[in-house]
Structure 1
Amino acid sequence: MLRRRLIRTLFALFLLLGQASAFAHALGHLQPHDSGLPEPVCEVCLAHANLGSVAPASAFTLPVVPGHYLGLPAVPPPPAAVLPCRAQARAPPAPV
């Protein structure tokens, strides 16, 4: 019980710290930059993109499609030919 509570507390703490670091990084983008250059893609912003919201309330599930019944044939297939298996040890041949 204590372990589950610890995991939940650490998860919430890491989520808050991650959101705080994303906000602090976003403040760095408020500085004026050269308007003649194209805006590069910020890898840190991409890494923090999922921290803006919490986990979804429900899990994603695929719809279940009903299967089709495949009937068995009226006459069962004939049994396979059964051959007796002899022991085949990997030893040198016996002297005659």
Structure 2
Amino acid sequence: MKELFLEGLSISYAFAGFVCCIAYFPTIRDLYFYKKTNVNTTTYFLWTITALITLLYSFYILSDVLFRIISIANFVLCAVILYLSLSKVSRDELASKKET
């Protein structure tokens, strides 16, 4: 019974990690294709830092491959959103300087 519970928990964790990663794609789409600026850069900066810490923890402390994969995906997706957000802010600042 314990093995069945742990197997179910592992499957649930993998599914939850997959869903969390998919949840980033609407934001990436909005930033990349529609050039929207509705992303809080400070929030994604902090999330990227915490995702990096989690990623390092997964490599140096844990030996769980599934956790590593989800940590890598989480970090990469947070970093992509942060990069797109910062590049959008930079483009907006350049455009406003050209107008003045």
How does the TM-score come out when normalised to structure 2?
Answer: 0.38
Higher helix share: 2
The structure whose Rg is larger is 1
